Structure 1
Amino acid sequence: MCVRYVGFVLLVWFPGVLHGQSCDAPSLSGGYIVPEQEKYSHETELTYACSPGYKPAVEGWWAKSTCQNGKWSHKPQCIDEKACLPPVIPNAIYTENQNGWYEDRYVIRITCDKGYEPKGRDVTAICINGTWSSVPVCEKSILACGEPPKIPHAVIIHQRYQEIFAVDSEVQYECEDGYTVEGAEKSIFCIAGTWTKGPPCRARPTIEHSGSTVGGTGWEDTEQVGGTKPGGGGRGTETGAVGGSSATSGSNDRDSQPAFMSIDHCGEHPNVPNGDVVQVNRMSLKYQCNAFYTRVGSDTVTCYSDGSWSDLPICKEAFCVVDHTRHRWDNFQLSGVEYIKEGEKKTFPCIYSSWSRVFQCINGRIHFTDCCHYYDIQRGLCR
């Protein structure tokens, strides 16, 4: 009986143990709540909306929030209607604002996940009147690899499954019981969008003490001495073969192409005119062309086992020259020589106040407009 009374007293004094804690009414500036009350019990849902010039700090012109053990599922909040909510950018990270929203004209800068790169090199977005302008996109890098190729009788270790692997990624594998690989290297690497080939997992020979291997086929994995395999006159209790014949070496199955090696194997880094090495990894070099030059070919260079480098990128001129001494443009002011990058536009003043010409470099050639007023240029009406 005493135990029952104690249990009853506990339920009376600690009702929150069974029913959850209630929530105080949220403070909402610039909006209104329905239903409006001082306390809300556990799992009670309220709805709120905002006054003109404001909006909820979540999607929609109205929002719901639920009391969960003394806390609201999200804090009801009305923000300036020109503010922006956090953008959703797959395969990217950016600095998140602690209050959960961003003021008008706020600029965020993203960083793409490994194996991805910003499309068009665009890495910023700006909040303009409640909407994000030009949200960046992270797309798969042309140098990244997909999932590693399936290796018969092996599994990938120390690595969770993923669809994209960044360039120079290394994954290790391990053979199933009864299989082994030649040599100690059991890794494959992502090089310029392609996985290297690792040694295959081969069945260990089954040794019988009668002096021969089962079926006489165990020689593929026995150790070679002096380039030949031991014959019938060898240590018959371990490695003897029927009739003293030898089997073909497993090396014939390997690709005849040179294998990828560490860049140290190839020595001094190759020179790319108008380009520089910007990243050095164990298995590759990454090049970047100087300003006013564009890259032709892969920016990643690898080393082969024969001591040679893979194809080098070419840094091709990608600019135009604006020289008033060579081109006589009427009503135009220009002192000296100006360079314009491929695809870039530049505006230079005419002799009239607030009038200018627009120059653009397209395929290495200069294109330009007539002298136009500032407002026509801003509206794209200058031709």
Structure 2
Amino acid sequence: MRISYLGFVLLIWFPGALHGQSAPQSCSAPTLDGGFFAPKQETYPHGAQLAYTCGTGRKATVKGWWATSTCQNGKWSHELQCIDEKACIPPTIPHAKYTENSNGWYEEGHIIITCDKGYQDKNQDATAECINGTWSSVPVCEKSLQACGAPPKIPHAVIINQEYQDVFAADSEVEYECEDGFTVEGTDTTKTIICIAGSWTTGPPCRSSVSSGSNGREGGTQFTTIDKCGRFPQISDGDVVEKHEMSIKYRCSSFHKLVGRETVRCYSSGTWSEVPTCKDAYCSVDTAEKDGFQSVGVIFLEYGERKRFECEKPYSWSFPHYSFGRCTNGRMSFTKCCNRAEHAVGC
């Protein structure tokens, strides 16, 4: 009887606290420079939706000439903004990353994208261009020919320390562990397989009893720990960037492309597997020697990179003119010198 009475007293003392925990918050009226919204209120309850649009020469940061935003527990689902109609909203490029602007939109110009691991830019085009409010020549990231799909299923084993994914970059390593009562040919219950030239290497099977064998194996070739091979091989314009017990990984410096496998292993004979090389992967433009361009010195571009070059201004030009140059397999190509409006329609 005392316990029931005490619970009744607590509910009398704290009804506001119980209500406050569940009551969603309302939103204040937003500010919108360069546009208007409806309905007009000082506050909006949770779940309320308002519509907005932008004035002449401006547009919203989402698709469409009008947009909506919803009050969600004291905050609007997205910020109401009206930007210059010649600016671009963020592009959607599957399997790619690029530098995101803090304001959520981009002025006219270009951005360089980076494909996710296991993907490569199609036609070596890594540049998206914002022209007159529209993205032109948006790059495409496609699966690399050297990449692998998901690792093959290994009986009585599971992949560890790695989330599932459909594509793995070349030279990716995944480790698997045998279930209780099973082991691999080697010193412990874990083993590694590697993605090489689009295929996974074959790891030793999980057996119900321990069997002798090498510490590592790929296609019948035995590997051992890297300390058995001594000093790391040196390559021009590149260096070792990762060291593991059974392998080392190389990476080339800027403006160079790695040729060969980036992962190098140590054979049980005490010699290294084939070492990659770093090949020049850039173009150079001496603007002082390029007819019709403003001289700003020598410009370097990586393969696939696109850059804007300012053109010299004849007396007949009323607006600034520029050309786009692109580096493809060591060769430069240039568009005509046109103004912004002409570029927008493809001069």
TM-score, length-normalised on structure 1?
Answer: 0.58
1:199 is aligned, of 204, 207, 211, to 204
User: Are residues 1:181 and 2:184 paired?
Assistant: yes
User: Are residues 1:172 and 2:175 paired?
Assistant: yes
Q: Secondary structure at the match of 1:259?
A: strand
- Deviation at 1:172? 2.0
Match of 1:60 in 2: 64
Aligned ranges 1:335-374 → 2 under 5 Å: none
Q: Secondary structure at the match of 1:202?
A: coil
User: Are residues 1:35 and 2:39 paired?
Assistant: yes
User: Are residues 1:259 and 2:222 paired?
Assistant: yes
- Deviation at 1:61? 0.8
Identify which range, 304-313 or 70-79, moves more after superposition.
304-313
- Deviation at 1:118? 3.1
User: Does the CA-based 8 Å contact 1:170-1:187 persist in structure 2?
Assistant: no
1:154 is aligned, of 153, 157, 160, to 157
Which amino acid in structure 2 is aligned with residue 259 of structure 1? Q
2:147 is aligned, of 132, 144, 149, to 144
User: Does the CA-based 8 Å contact 1:298-1:313 persist in structure 2?
Assistant: yes
Of all paired residues, the percent bearing the same amino acid is 50
* Structural RMSD (CA): 4.7
The Cα offsets for residues 8-44 of structure 1, whole Å up to 9 and x where unpaired, read as 9946x99765552222211112112121222222211
User: Does the CA-based 8 Å contact 1:109-1:124 persist in structure 2?
Assistant: yes
Structure 1 Cα separation of the partners of residues 10 and 220 of structure 2: 84
- Deviation at 1:267? 6.0
- Deviation at 1:98? 1.9
Q: Secondary structure at the match of 2:221?
A: coil
Cα distance change on mapping 1:277 and 1:25 into 2, 3 Å: closer
1:115 is aligned, of 104, 108, 118, to 118
Aligned ranges 1:7-46 → 2 under 5 Å: 10=15, 18-46=22-50
Match of 1:327 in 2: none
Structure 1 Cα separation of the partners of residues 93 and 159 of structure 2: 30
Match of 2:136 in 1: 133
- Deviation at 1:51? 1.0
Which amino acid in structure 2 is aligned with residue 162 of structure 1? Q
- Deviation at 1:64? 0.6
Structure 1: state its 5+ residue gaps. Answer: 205-220, 223-248, 320-341, 344-361, 367-372
TM-score, length-normalised on structure 2?
Answer: 0.63
Structure 2 Cα separation of the partners of residues 374 and 112 of structure 1: 30
User: Does the CA-based 8 Å contact 1:155-1:174 persist in structure 2?
Assistant: yes
Structure 2 Cα separation of the partners of residues 287 and 41 of structure 1: 55
Structure 2 Cα separation of the partners of residues 363 and 69 of structure 1: 53
Equivalenced residue count is: 284
Structure 1 Cα separation of the partners of residues 94 and 150 of structure 2: 19
Specify the structure having the higher radius of gyration (Cα): 1
Q: Secondary structure at the match of 2:176?
A: strand
